[in-house]
Amino acid sequence: MLELHWAENLDDERTAAVRTLLTAARGVDGKPEVDPDGPLPGEFSGGRYLLGTVAGDLVGVAHVDVSGDAFGRQVAELVVHPEHRRRGHGAALTEALLAEYPRNLRVWAHGDQPGAARLAQHHGLLRSRELLIMHVDTAGADWPEPTPPEGVTLRTFRPGSDEQAVIDVNARAFDWHPEQGALTVDDLAATEREDWFDADGFFLAERAGTVIGFHWTKVHPPNPAKFGGKAAGEVYVVGVDPDTQGGGLGRALTVAGLHHLAERGLSQVILYVEGDNAPAVAVYRRLGFTPYEVDVQYATADPG
């Protein structure tokens, strides 16, 4: 029988159990990005954990980021071990999660699976956000050379010097975004210590010595359940100061990053874009990107 209990500040044993479960899920689902020997991924760090066990073995976990997104909404992730699915554990975790957080909650469903949609509908959760994953093969891609607007130059990021300038642009460019808009200098500095961070793949646009845009690229290690098991580059974040939009700067920054990723020998590049951001989707389609899958965020039906 499934037993459920809440926990905070996981000890080493529980952390290892959660990591093992997430690693098993990644092998089937392609997510989350978890290092079998490293810390828990960011979306499963801190906050509160709802642990589901059977005979002492962890078979499911829900994590709640109680600090909330940029708009103060709690955000949850829910994963059931692949060997224990279709036994009602996901429904039980969801019911307990909503009993604890009946309002102001958002729950991610990665891959837009029919089972997740049925579960959300059963519990009255509303489809509130779609995050579209797009990808392109670099072989044969005919991208133009990056051509920034007149008076704008491109260069790469300088750690220890450019953090505040990037965060200033980021705050203006993503004041509407529930996650990206909350990025801080400390967050950026912490990311620079991650193994994947590469300043040579972080492009900045300057006008008269002021940073007005950036394209931050990322490289993902081979994933057994995604993209043919090969490493993939990512158009991680493209941010342009709203006062300079419309002159082709975003496209120039994007193309600069795409050339960089292709030159690294990566055969494919992915990106995440809000599904309702039609102008951005159109730009990426013109660069050869096509939809790959969709992540969905379901929301409690709060009044107002």
pLDDT tens across 216-264, in order? 999 998 888 888 888 999 999 999 999 987 789 999 999 999 999 999 9
Are 103 and 142 within one domain? Answer: no
pLDDT at 168 over 80: yes
User: Of 73, 99, 124, which one is at a domain's C-terminal end?
Assistant: 124
pLDDT at 70 over 70: yes
| 79 marked among binding-site residues | yes
State which residues form the domain around 185: 135-296
Predicted local confidence at residue 181, as pLDDT: 83
Which of 6-15, 62-71, 217-226 ranks highest by mean pLDDT? 6-15
81 within domain boundaries: yes
304 within domain boundaries: no
pLDDT at 178 over 90: no
Q: What percent of the chain shows pLDDT beyond 70?
A: 99
Closest alpha carbon to 120 in 132, 133, 110, 131:
110
| 246 marked among binding-site residues | yes
151 within domain boundaries: yes
User: Of 124, 155, 179, which one is at a domain's C-terminal end?
Assistant: 124
| 250 marked among binding-site residues | yes
Domain count, the chain: 2
pLDDT at 35 over 90: no
pLDDT at 124 over 60: yes
Pairing of strands 290-299, 105-109: antiparallel
117 within domain boundaries: yes
**Rounded Cα gap, residues 204 and 211, in angstroms:** 7
**Rounded Cα gap, residues 302 and 122, in angstroms:** 16
User: Of 124, 153, 185, which one is at a domain's C-terminal end?
Assistant: 124
Predicted local confidence at residue 245, as pLDDT: 76
| 247 marked among binding-site residues | yes
Are 107 and 144 within one domain? Answer: no
**Rounded Cα gap, residues 52 and 263, in angstroms:** 45
Closest alpha carbon to 168 in 226, 219, 212:
212
| 219 marked among binding-site residues | no
Are 154 and 258 within one domain? Answer: yes
Predicted local confidence at residue 90, as pLDDT: 96
| 75 marked among binding-site residues | no
Are 64 and 153 within one domain? Answer: no
Whether pTM exceeds 0.95: no
| 111 marked among binding-site residues | no
Interval 179-197: pLDDT, tens: 888 899 999 999 999 989 9
Predicted local confidence at residue 161, as pLDDT: 97
| 52 marked among binding-site residues | no
Contact 101, 74 (CB under 8 A): yes
| 28 marked among binding-site residues | no
Are 31 and 151 within one domain? Answer: no
Predicted local confidence at residue 304, as pLDDT: 44
Are 266 and 167 within one domain? Answer: yes
* Structure tokens given for 230: 């090969």
9 within domain boundaries: yes
CATH number of the domain at 100, please. Answer: 3.40.630.30
Are 17 and 80 within one domain? Answer: yes
276 within domain boundaries: yes
| 213 marked among binding-site residues | no
Are 149 and 108 within one domain? Answer: no
Interval 280-302: pLDDT, tens: 899 999 999 999 999 999 999 87
Q: What is the CA radius of gyration of the chain?
A: 20
Predicted local confidence at residue 37, as pLDDT: 86
pLDDT at 177 over 90: no
| 78 marked among binding-site residues | yes
Q: What are phi and psi of 223, to 5 degrees?
A: -120, 120
Are 146 and 107 within one domain? Answer: no
pLDDT at 212 over 60: yes
Q: What is the mean pLDDT of the chain?
A: 94
Predicted local confidence at residue 303, as pLDDT: 57
Q: What percent of the chain shows pLDDT beyond 90?
A: 83
Are 208 and 107 within one domain? Answer: no
Are 142 and 285 within one domain? Answer: yes
Are 112 and 143 within one domain? Answer: no
301 within domain boundaries: no
Least confident of 66-70, 94-98, 250-254: 66-70
